[in-house]
Chain A
Amino acid sequence: MNVSNAIRQRRVFVRAVRVAARRMVAEPSALVVAGVFYLMVTAILAGLWRAAADASGGSVVGYSAVALVWYVATSEAATIALPPRMIEDIGNDIGSGAIAVEMLRPAPVLGLRVATEVGQMLPRMLLCISVGLVFATLTVGAPPSGSALALAAPSLVLALILNIVTQHMFAAAAFWVLDAKATWFLYQKLVFVTGGMLLPLEVLPEPLETVTKLLPFSAMAYVPARLASGHFEPELIAVQVLWLVVLGGAAHLAFRAGERHLIGTGA
């Protein structure tokens, strides 16, 4: 690909992000539902972990009640900013053949799809961040570390993009099996537990804690939440970038092979 093509594609992706973000903002009722749902889940888990910290002398596995509330507010934002059934939706588009129309466009299918999802995610993420900041500040006060919280912001964006890319990688299986319905369910639970959405990974017994920290799911919820809970660990962002490169490459290969398969078999 020459330089002018690369620049043109970049412009197409940026425009896709903008259009998708505008569409999402144009549906305020969907954003309100997402915001209320985020607040409900965050309030429940924050209440649970605060009660757990109170019951065990003020902290759980090294996290104070304040840290746990900031952890939960961030880990929930990293999950609820995305539609839960994304894998199923992509799989349906592939299985039904609707994706064939997208292949006629002069831009990569995967790139455009990821750009569109990122555009839809941004308003939801900003809403969740705003609600989360107000909720955590009102319930437990300022975050344990301002500098670590500042680091959590780019980490949250990286976590969400990584999640989108990985879901596309999983959904690419539909090019061959024509159905990715069941996959989203398992994927969601992997992010919930091994990704650290419901609980800090330190709560898990060894060697599960070590294993889960080595998996990419931890980069989708645990990493930004760990940073927001006051742990200034910039190396965690490098881990996210690494996973983004690895899984982005894998998704690219999977889609390229899948598109070839679709062209070859026609179904």
Chain B
Amino acid sequence: MSWSARWVTWRNAWRQAWAHRVSSWAQVAMMFVNDTIWVLFWVLVFERVDSIRGWDVDDVVVLMAIITTSAGLVIGFANNIRHISHLAATGGLDATLALPVSPLSFLLSSRIEAIAMGDVLFGVTLFASLGSPTPTRVAVFAFSVLCAVSIISGFLIVVGSLGFWTSRTEAGDLGFQAIVLFSIYPVDIFGGVTKFLLYAVIPAGFITAIPARLVSEFDVSAALAVFAVAVFAGTAGWATFTLGLRRYTSGATWTQA
């Protein structure tokens, strides 16, 4: 898919998402309030406990800034990523496949969710106001967000593409809930098998836990590990979707492009 085609698709999606400006801004504000309540929750917890397994309120602020910004970017700018399992399972890709563009690229750029912009706005504001931003910390934060965007996208495409094989949508829904849920808590509160799973299966540890540590104390090997996982997740997402398309069965629904 050429960059100009991608740009036009994305611009149209943007205009569609913001067609009702008042309603869209109200939703953005609502998401901002929602995220503020999560931070308030952490502040209340750390009012009672100084630190939990090495995590204090400052670390959790950075963690929240990373997950809200990155999840907001993914869900906001590539909203169809949440609907891949549904489209795959119900044969809803017919119209997309008829277009002379890459199906995955088109899907990811054709639907924007205004409400998720509240997450992006919140994450950036939170880091700028409470994340002690210095040039180095800002650079590491930006690097962490980009890696997190790739990991979240790759993971959601993989679980969504399972719909090509299972013809069911539950895996996509649960995958989304799982990755967001586990990423808003420090992985170190878990131990044993759960902690291993949060690095190996649901990569929440690579999305927020390690990057949040990187912002406060940069470590080259940890940064390279996060980058490698980001590249791997993105590649795995593309490969799984491409393989899944071979098993796609038409639903003859020509109205969902």
Interface residues of A (CB under 8 A from B): 29, 32-33, 36-37, 40-41, 43-44, 47-48, 51-52, 55-56, 60-61, 181-182, 185-186, 189, 192-193, 198-199, 203-205
Asked if residues A48 and B185 are in contact (CB atoms below 8 Å), the reply is yes
* In the complex, per-residue mask of B204-240: 1 if CB is within 8 Å of any chain A CB, else 0: 0000000000000000000000000000000000000
Closest 4 CB pairs of A and B: A51-B189, A52-B49, A47-B189, A51-B52
CB contacts (< 8 Å) of A52 on chain B: these are: 45, 48-49, 52
CB contacts (< 8 Å) of B45 on chain A: these are: 48, 52, 199, 203
Q: Which of B29-37, B104-112, B247-255 contacts A (4 or more CB under 8 A)?
A: B29-37
Asked if residues B177 and A40 are in contact (CB atoms below 8 Å), the reply is yes
Q: B6 → chain A, closest Cβ, in Å?
A: 30
- Pick from A40, A56, A199: contact of B44, CB below 8 A: A199
Q: Complex: how many Å from CA A60 to CA B45? A: 10
Asked if residues B30 and A182 are in contact (CB atoms below 8 Å), the reply is yes
B190 part of interface (Cβ distance < 8 Å): yes
Q: Complex: how many Å from CA A204 to CA B45? A: 9
B40 part of interface (Cβ distance < 8 Å): yes
Asked if residues B170 and A29 are in contact (CB atoms below 8 Å), the reply is yes
Residues of chain B at interface, number, CB under 8 A: 30
**Which A residue's beta carbon lies closest to that of B36?**
A189
Q: Complex: how many Å from CA A72 to CA B66? A: 26
Asked if residues A33 and B174 are in contact (CB atoms below 8 Å), the reply is yes
Q: Complex: how many Å from CA A29 to CA B168? A: 9
Asked if residues A33 and B194 are in contact (CB atoms below 8 Å), the reply is no
Q: Complex: how many Å from CA A36 to CA B177? A: 10
Which B162-212 residues have a C-beta within 8 angstroms of A? 168, 170, 173-174, 177-178, 181-182, 185, 189-190, 194
Tell me the dominant secondary structure on chain A's binding face. helix
CB contacts (< 8 Å) of B44 on chain A: these are: 199, 203-205
Most B CB within 10 A of own CB, among A37, A48, A199: A48
Q: A53 → chain B, closest Cβ, in Å?
A: 9
27 A-B residue pairs with Cβ-Cβ distance under 8 Å, sorted by A, are: A29-B170, A33-B174, A40-B178, A40-B181, A40-B182, A41-B181, A43-B194, A44-B189, A47-B194, A48-B185, A51-B52, A51-B53, A51-B189, A52-B48, A55-B50, A56-B50, A60-B48, A60-B49, A181-B27, A182-B27, A189-B33, A189-B37, A198-B41, A199-B45, A203-B47, A204-B44, A205-B44
Q: Complex: how many Å from CA A203 to CA B53? A: 19
Q: Complex: how many Å from CA A185 to CA B38? A: 13
Q: Complex: how many Å from CA A147 to CA B185? A: 33
Q: Complex: how many Å from CA A52 to CA B44? A: 12
Which B37-62 residues have a C-beta within 8 angstroms of A? 37, 40-41, 44-45, 47-53
B1 part of interface (Cβ distance < 8 Å): no
- Pick from A43, A48, A199, A205: contact of B52, CB below 8 A: A48
**Which B residue's beta carbon lies closest to that of A30?**
B170
